[in-house]
Structure 1
Amino acid sequence: MKKPSLIRDSLGRLVFIDDAGIEHIDVHAVRAFPITAPNAGISLMDSAGKELFWFASLAAIPEEDRALLLEELAAREFMPVIEQISSVSSYATPSIWVVQTDRGETRLRLNGEENIRRVAGNTLLISDANGVQYLVRDSSQLNKQSRKLLDRFL
């Protein structure tokens, strides 16, 4: 019996080697709770969506495999975090928002108030017209202007 491990093959695909030594090619890492508990509950899935292995937390993953897993998760998950709302074109929807994110300034189109969802507590998920999801980790931590603009839509 071998210890389960992760490698990349020559094509750059993630490969999971289970405890029996069987190689599962082109596996995908998926977080169980990407917003509320990003460091807990990570599953390795095969290309058909079947779970191959479960990690209770990132801390449970050997350090040599953790880097590969985090790299895979970063490629899969694209969710900019809104740090500031600079302006909105109109208080009626649809409206264009100019926001500062952890990835820089961008513009998003909000089609309706229903595209702002409260996830847990003060955590919000905002979907733009192109289907990109933006995260507001804690709306109470936004600056005063950002909270004032956001409150018009909540």
Structure 2
Amino acid sequence: MSGSEPFQVERDAHGRLVLIDAQGVRHEGVVPVRAFPLQAPGEGVSLVGADGRECLWVPRLDRLPEPQRTLLDAECARREFMPRVSRLRSVSTFSTPSTWEVDTDRGATSFVLKGEEDIRRLPEGRLLITDSHGIQYEVPDRQALDRPSRRLLERFL
């Protein structure tokens, strides 16, 4: 089933997502999974059932009615925990591994960067940094960081 047929998405009494497809069949506990969460977050979202099979393919979130788009965006954001770095406070050493002290949209934190290869460059000046535990941090625009943060970051790029 593609996203061109009418469908509904809602939360049940337990907070789980329920997909009601074009035929009126209820699919309990669906999970939205972005096909390209970093490169094209608004394009290609699969609603996967509890059995792991795709129940619905949504080609573009921005073409959905507002309530459905908002619900799916919120669920994707909850599933795709990725703090955004707003400032680098310090790094323990300019060689790796090093401990980074940063400010994020979720508060101050520290993490260990194992190697420079764990900093991935993305389009439009974005960076994706993966710490030693596999948690990913996004730098939305490295040029928008303050000057001291940019200087620290450039030592690793």
Q: So what's the TM-score if we normalise by structure 1?
A: 0.89
Where 2:15 maps in the other structure, the secondary structure is coil
Task: Could you list the structure 1 runs, at least 4 aligned residues long, displaced by more than 4 angstroms after superposition.
Answer: none
Q: How far apart are the structure 1 equivalents of 2:125 and 2:75?
A: 28
Q: How far apart are the structure 2 equivalents of 1:153 and 1:95?
A: 10
Where 1:26 maps in the other structure, the secondary structure is strand
Q: So what's the TM-score if we normalise by structure 2?
A: 0.87
Q: How far apart are the structure 2 equivalents of 1:6 and 1:25?
A: 10
Identify the residue that residue 146 of structure 1 maps to in structure 2.
Answer: 149
* Identity across the alignment (%): 48
Identify the residue that residue 120 of structure 1 maps to in structure 2.
Answer: 123
Q: How far apart are the structure 2 equivalents of 1:49 and 1:145?
A: 46
Where 2:83 maps in the other structure, the secondary structure is coil
Q: How far apart are the structure 2 equivalents of 1:129 and 1:24?
A: 37
Cα deviation for residue 134 of structure 1 reads: 0.2
Where 2:41 maps in the other structure, the secondary structure is coil
Where 1:66 maps in the other structure, the secondary structure is helix
Deviations 1:9-66 (A, max 9, x none): 2222111011011111111111222223222222211123322222232222222222
Counterparts of 1:56-67 in structure 2, within 5 Å, are: 56-67=59-70
Q: How far apart are the structure 2 equivalents of 1:59 and 1:119?
A: 22
**1:126–1:55 CA distance, 2 compared to 1 (3 A):** same
Structure 1: segments with no counterpart, 5+ residues: none
Match of residue 101, structure 1, among 100, 104, 108: 104
- Aligned: 1:11 with 2:11: no
Cα deviation for residue 93 of structure 1 reads: 1.2
Deviations 1:111-150 (A, max 9, x none): 1112111233522110111211001122222222111111
Between stretches 66-75 and 76-85, larger displacement belongs to 66-75
Identify the residue that residue 35 of structure 1 maps to in structure 2.
Answer: 38
Q: How far apart are the structure 2 equivalents of 1:123 and 1:69?
A: 24
Structure 2: segments with no counterpart, 5+ residues: none
Aligned residues: 153
Where 2:122 maps in the other structure, the secondary structure is strand
